[in-house]
């Protein structure tokens, strides 16, 4: 549900650079790089009146996300819903708590002393 809300409210820009009728570059979230064939006007030379039509163009599409979300507060919920959310939160947080110290119940006990070989007494041999 959070992913649906994220993508429905996200807005982004698709920028494309065309040289003639072919796509040179497409960029998301930033400006597309050019092909280097843009016409540059010379500011110092105003006597020249020859102009040539530029074959390159930039196309920008802006996709807007929605920004009118209904925001509910915890106080607007009924008492039963507040109780359910509080108990769910409490049980979910305590679900992942572990033991801080590793408890070993047989730490203070020593193993029994082996007086006789049990395998020989029961006549069980490994072949």
Quick one: which of 50, 54, 22, 23 has its CA closest to 37?
Answer: 54
| Confidence at 88, pLDDT banded by 50, 70, 90 | very high
**Distance (Å, rounded) from C-alpha 126 to C-alpha 115?**
21
DSSP-assigned letter for residue 24 = E
Angstrom distances, CA of residue 80 to CA of 86, 88, 90, 94: 10, 12, 15, 21
90 pLDDT more than 80: yes
pLDDT in tens, 18-57: 887 888 888 887 777 777 776 555 555 555 555 666 778 8
Q: Report pTM.
A: 0.40
Name the H helices within 1-127. 2-9, 79-95, 118-122
| Confidence at 84, pLDDT banded by 50, 70, 90 | very high
């Amino acid at each position: 549900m959070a992913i649906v809300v994220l993508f429905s409210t996200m807005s982004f820009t698709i920028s494309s650079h065309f040289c003639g009728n072919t796509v040179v570059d497409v960029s998301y979230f930033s400006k597309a790089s050019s092909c280097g064939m843009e016409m540059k006007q010379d500011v110092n030379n105003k006597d020249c009146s020859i102009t040539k039509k530029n074959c390159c163009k930039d196309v920008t599409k802006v996709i807007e996300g929605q920004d009118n979300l209904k925001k509910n507060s915890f106080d607007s919920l009924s008492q039963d819903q507040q109780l359910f959310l509080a108990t769910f939160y409490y049980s979910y947080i305590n679900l992942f708590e572990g033991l801080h110290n590793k408890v070993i119940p047989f730490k203070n006990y020593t193993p029994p002393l082996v007086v006789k070989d049990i395998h020989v007494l029961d006549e069980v041999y490994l072949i």
